Amino acid sequence: MPSPSEIVREHLRPGDMVSNRYQIEEFIGAGAYGAIFSAIDMTTMERVALKALPPANEGIKSTAVGRFHREMKVISKLRHPNIINIYDFGETDQRFAFMIVEYIDGETLFDFVNRQRLPAHIAIELCIQIASGLAQAHDNGVVHRDLKPQNVMIITEPNGMYHAKVLDFGMAKLTGSDESVQLTREGMAVGTPRYIAPEQARGREVGPWSDIYALGLLFYEMFTSQRAVKADTIESAILAHVSPEPLQLDEIHEVPEYVRGVLYKMIEKKVNKRYQSAHEIVRDLRNIEAHRNQADLAGTIPLGDVRAPAKDVGRDPNRVPSLRSASHLELQELKPISRKRYSSQYDNEMRRREEFYVRTPHNVFEWSEAVAAFFLFPVGFICLTAQLDGLDYFLRAFVGFIPFFIALGVGLSSRSPSWNLSLFRQLFGWSLLIFIVAHLLGPERLAIGLLRNPSWFLNPVADVPVLNLLHDLMAGFSRAYGHLLSGWFGGKVIV
């Protein structure tokens, strides 16, 4: 079956006119659901890009058509130097939907950073531009939801300067619209796994903060030419984001210290600790730019000291210096601006989680299992130790607590986000095991042990207030279960 791109190319060829105005030049790329051509606007004689999509009955899902139309709707309401412009849209005579957008003669951020690590001032400036474009989108109720290096184009101006453009709003969420719900029902966790925000991966509410998380990952790549999430599978990539542990940033030493605080706050796993507005990122990065050449600034400028502008305007691309004009000596001599408030918190949190980490329940099933584990362990303990009435008190108690010690050791030492290695899953499994083993050692003997000394382990504290209530509760359970077991033997159990 031909791909959507092949279907489009069978019907639209170089030299064809679209809407009696746009003459197709050549095929320049395949999109997710169609094809992209360069074309000439015969009215203005300017080069444009034409994106075309086959009709829904040509093997294209209706959701794909819906996303295409949504992208036209989204881009048409956004006007910003760092967002791709749309000029026209409509349908061809063959009912192929098309949109005319500005032709961008550049390369993706993916290719751009793969060729070289960017000097700090270039990375900061490009991040400001992308954040400015996102701020404009967010101010207009649009959340991109699929920000990645392939969806950002870098244009090299004739004077050697660089300019960023955010593309592809096909996955965008329109605030207050039910349209995004209908168009993403096929996969609730919309986005690209390596760049998806934790809340987005869980199918929870997304907002400007979700795009900011992805932008932080792009910012990291600008400095390092490496992905922050290097997972080889979708599952492991998603797990890296939803895990409560901070991302493992192996190349963080390549990111200048004076911007790490901004980076850490952009990729914070907890939404309430992350930047809430792209305007804040622009403000803080401009603050760094404005002071990075002042030798006496280390430790003096906290984030947020510079008031955010009332409204972001696009950066003049002529202000972005070329890589070829970068002064490496100047960059090496820069003294770091303090971002201790955020970077030290992040680093301390990473050290704390490396030393001590407990995987907590995340959903109803896990909470149910965690609660069940704390009920099942005492039951398993009582049943197992009832079979060991010939042992010394302390040895008997120690053997009964072995499952708890194992579960605690595995749960704390693994530091894994996997529920299977959590304290609660381990405790549930080991408690169930000793409960079964106690019965396999002989139900009749178990009944005798339960009835003979029902709460032996609490006898030393039987007279202590409050603990005496626990003693009576355990004794009542032991006797009741012992009588239940003895009933299976016709009441022949002799205590």
- Measured distance CA(132)–CA(150) in Å, rounded: 18
Residue count of the chain, please give it. 495
- Active-site residue (options: 146, 168, 211, 312): 146
Whether residue 105 lies in the annotated active site: no
In this structure, which amino acid lies at residue 77? K
- Measured distance CA(30)–CA(20) in Å, rounded: 23
Q: Residue 311 annotated as binding?
A: no
Cβ contact 447:489 at 8 Å: yes
- 390 sits in the region (left: phi over 0; alpha: psi -120 to 50; else beta) called alpha
Angle formed at CA 83 by CA 143 and CA 98, multiple of 5 degrees: 90
Backbone φ and ψ for 261, nearest 5 degrees, come out as: -60, -40
Task: Name every residue whose Cβ is closer than 8 Å to that of residue 328 and which is 6 or more positions away in sequence.
Answer: 119
Task: Name every residue whose Cβ is closer than 8 Å to that of residue 495 and which is 6 or more positions away in sequence.
Answer: 448, 451, 452
- Measured distance CA(407)–CA(403) in Å, rounded: 6
Residue with tokens 């015969």: 42
- Measured distance CA(414)–CA(427) in Å, rounded: 14
Q: Containing H/E element for 440? A: helix 423-440
- Measured distance CA(451)–CA(386) in Å, rounded: 9
Q: At what angle do helices 423-440 and 364-386 cross, to 10 degrees?
A: 30
Query: DSSP string spanning 226-269?
Result: S-S---SSHHHHHHHHHSSSPP--TTGGGS-HHHHHHHHHHT-S
Q: Residue ranges for the binding site for ATP?
A: 51
Q: Residue ranges for the binding site?
A: 51
Active centre residues (catalytic): 146
